[in-house]
Amino acid sequence: MHTHILLDHGSGGLASQRLIKDIFVRHLDNALLSSLNDAACLEMSGPVAMSTDTFTVTPLFFPGGDIGSLAVHGTVNDVAMIGAVPRYMSCGFILEEGLELEVLDRIVASMAGAASRAGVQVVTGDTKVVPRGAVDQVFINTTGLGEIRTTNLPQGNRARPGDIVLVNGSMGDHGLTILAQREGLRFQTPVQSDSAAVHNLAHKLIQKIEDVHVLRDPTRGGLATTVKEIAEQSKVSITLDEWNIPVNPGVQEGCSFLGLDPLFLANEGKMICIVPEDKAEQALGIMQADEHGVRARAIGRVSDGHPGQVVLNTAIGGTRLVHMLEGEQLPRIC
């Protein structure tokens, strides 16, 4: 009947119930969600991994994804990075009065598709509607739960001298795509977000390699900031070889044009994997055999140099120290 979100849709009354039934339950349907109790009751075995992320990306739809699928991928990946198998998610929507119902419907449908492909269920949710101007269209929080089935979990403080640093593909695609969309820029080589759930690849690595030391997804702040964090947490030095770091031609082109560094741009379907040297080749093979790791590369090495230091051997033969992102290159990328 209505075509836009009204304040009534957040009242907790009749209009809220209709919205929940017509959009959320329709797309995300499962027995746990449909019971519509205040909380979902979940059977889980062993220790539980919990991670939360809020998504405020603008524009809502972009080449390679949208806020709905991104909200699933981001949380699934965070849960997977500590070695857990993602199982359940909650979602909390904040909607702006006046948002088109058709837009919300597309977002929730995309979320449902991403959850289904990733093998996770959205089991509980919440919807708030705020007056026009109190939020920009729609923000989504997702909180994920995973089952931890192994010991010897990867952690940010487990990088050891001699270890090899791997990535599963090109850097900076998500960040540059959002920026280009927002500024209306087009490059000769089109760019698109790498938004994807990479938990299956993470699971394979952990199962087959056994002593994966670190897994981390280089989202906000990009590869550079995340590697710097790992170096600090592990109290080691990490050297990266710039010429081995995959960057797509469109991203390279856009970064040159805009004066940005792809190593500081966000990724949403990438992981940094640090393993002992004698396992690096096997890990690289596992990555390259996965749909989300075809362009995986070894990009650097851990040493016992200055603790917390990250050195980049540049493509033109120099070296420079890598610092964390200082200041914001681009807000609202995720």
Element (H, E) at 166: strand 164-167
Cβ nearer to a copy of itself, comparing 6 with 303: 6
Using CB under 8 A, which residues numbered 34 to 53 contact a copy of itself? Answer: 35-44, 47-53
Using CB under 8 A, which residues numbered 212 to 241 contact a copy of itself? Answer: 216-217, 219-221, 225, 233
Cβ nearer to a copy of itself, comparing 134 with 289: 134
CA 289 – CA 323 distance, rounded (Å): 33
Total residues contacting a copy of itself (rule CB under 8 A)? 84
Using CB under 8 A, which residues numbered 74 to 103 contact a copy of itself? Answer: 77-79, 81-82, 84, 88, 90-94
Give the x-and-dash track for 264-283 against a copy of itself (CB under 8 A). --x-----------------
| Whole-number Cα distances in Å, 149 to 80, 105, 142, 209, 283 | 11, 35, 22, 15, 20
Q: How far is the CB of 32 from a copy of itself (least distance, A)?
A: 9
Residue with tokens 């959009």: 23
CA 329 – CA 108 distance, rounded (Å): 29
The reply on whether position 144 binds a copy of itself by CB under 8 A is yes
Return the range that interacts with a copy of itself (CB under 8 A); candidates 101-109, 143-151, 253-261, 312-320: 143-151
Q: Is the peptide bond before 249 cis (omega within 30 degrees of 0)?
A: no
CA 203 – CA 200 distance, rounded (Å): 5
Cβ nearer to a copy of itself, comparing 136 with 281: 136
Contact 206, 85 (CB under 8 A): no
Read off the amino acid at residue 93. F
Using CB under 8 A, which residues numbered 103 to 142 contact a copy of itself? Answer: 123-126, 128-131, 133-136, 139, 141
Cβ nearer to a copy of itself, comparing 48 with 109: 48
Torsion sign, CA atoms 174, 178, 180, 181: positive
The reply on whether position 185 binds a copy of itself by CB under 8 A is no
